[in-house]
Amino acid sequence: MNDIPLSYFLIVSALLFSIGLGIMLLKRNMIFVLMGIELMLNAANLNLIAFSRQDDQMQGMVFSVFVLVIGVCEMTVALAIILQVYRHFKNIDLGAEKSRF
């Protein structure tokens, strides 16, 4: 069952986390920032599952399910906030200079 070495999982996880961090830091659109955060959460989940494969207990997999549920809840709340911001400002770019106050 352990045909794939742990280092491969860690390399893929590090790549996913780096891509997510790059998207989060470089993009100005809130949707892309949320996508970057989601990639970073998935990288953490991949680490949990990879280390969970080393022992026979299911603690890492159960914890990763909780992280996924929290990520989904976070995304729904964040998308609702983004929709309200767009309705008010007609713009969802971060650091936009326009203000209607």
Give the tens place of pLDDT for each residue, 75-100.
899 889 888 888 888 887 777 655 55
Domain count, the chain: 1
Task: Tell me, yes or no, whether 98 lies in a domain.
Answer: no
User: How many degrees, rounded to 5, is the angle at CA 69 between CA 41 and CA 83?
Assistant: 80
Provide the residue range defining the domain that includes 43: 6-89
Q: CATH number of the domain that 44 lies in?
A: 1.10.287.3510
Task: Tell me, yes or no, whether 30 lies in a domain.
Answer: yes
Give Cβ neighbours of residue 30 (< 8 Å, ≥ 6 apart).
78, 82, 85, 92, 93, 94
Structure confidence at residue 101 (pLDDT): 46
Give pTM, 2 decimals.
0.77
